Amino acid sequence: MKCTSKRLTALCIAFVIAVSFAGCGRLEYDMAYNPDLEVSGFNVMSGRSSGTAEAFSANLCVVTEDIMDDEAVDMSQATAAVLFDVNEKAVIYSKNAHERLYPASLTKVMTALVALKNGSPDQVLTATDAVNITESGAQLCGLKEGDTMTLDQALRVLLINSANDAAMLIAENIGGTAEHFVEMMNEEALRLGATNTNFVNPHGLTAEGHYTTAYDLYLIFNEAIQYETFNEIIHMTSYQTTYYDKDGEAKNLSFETTNLFLRGDYQAPDNITVIGGKTGTTNAAGHCLLLLSRDAAGAPYISVILRSEARDVLYTEMTDLLEEINK
């Protein structure tokens, strides 16, 4: 722009100066220099803030070392074990809490958790040939390709009967593919802080790279018991249901829980009530058990034992571990 008069020249100079100080197209924001405001020039300069962030572990039990009473609890035939007071966030017992081990069917707690978060109870699931699991000794409910049942039914079969074919049914229908569902499981594990966990299948049959820890199982189980449906299922002693084959014909299913505390084969210590949990057994994982229990006042406790030598030993160990609640 060319200035052709003194008056116009003065206006041009004023414009240039204004632009120079204001910045071309820049917006100005004022920040109050006030110590009484949470966000202000004063607090930026002084580094003072009235807000604090809650620690991730604020509502969790944290294990930093083994805490064992060998005279009271003989855990010599188990590789790892933990007992936590959920309300007080207190570690009562801990042995090898962070050692990576095969979890066997305790894996299914995460399978149920991911399904509860991403599915609906009345969602109808359809089986593919992926339910045809041929591994020797694998627990199955007998699903065939084309069979249908709701997610609510499948979760009960999964957790009460520990059926591996039900795990595949859930994984494929909730995740689109079993592979994607496993990715969802691992994402949830990281979200919960279970950083020593990696799943490669939704059922827990032995596979390379499939592992977790007693502590990580506590984190996963502690999240799962926030769901009313999960709590209801793990407390059931038996289940009967009807589902349908590919032709619409009814098929009946009936079974008891795999949890021997709930079946009455083993008794919890006085003043302790076993609410429920999950069992798991493979040759590689040994005998495993994860429980939610309550004391006489109704306070909740989570206990985990991994890789015990035998089933009867496992339940004896768990009984001794739960006795620590009374001390």
Would you name the residues annotated as active-site residues?
A: 105, 108, 162
Left, alpha or beta for 315 (phi > 0: left; psi -120 to 50: alpha)? Answer: alpha
| CB of 314 closer than 8 Å to CB of 290 | no
User: Which secondary structure element, helix H or strand E, spans residue 189, and what is its range?
Assistant: helix 178-191
Q: What's the DSSP call for residue 158? A: I
| CB of 320 closer than 8 Å to CB of 81 | no
Token pair of 90 as six digits? 């207190």
| Dist CA 40 CA 33 (whole Å) | 5
| Dist CA 182 CA 193 (whole Å) | 17
Q: What's the DSSP call for residue 148? A: E
Main-chain dihedrals φ then ψ at residue 30, nearest 5 degrees: -95, 135
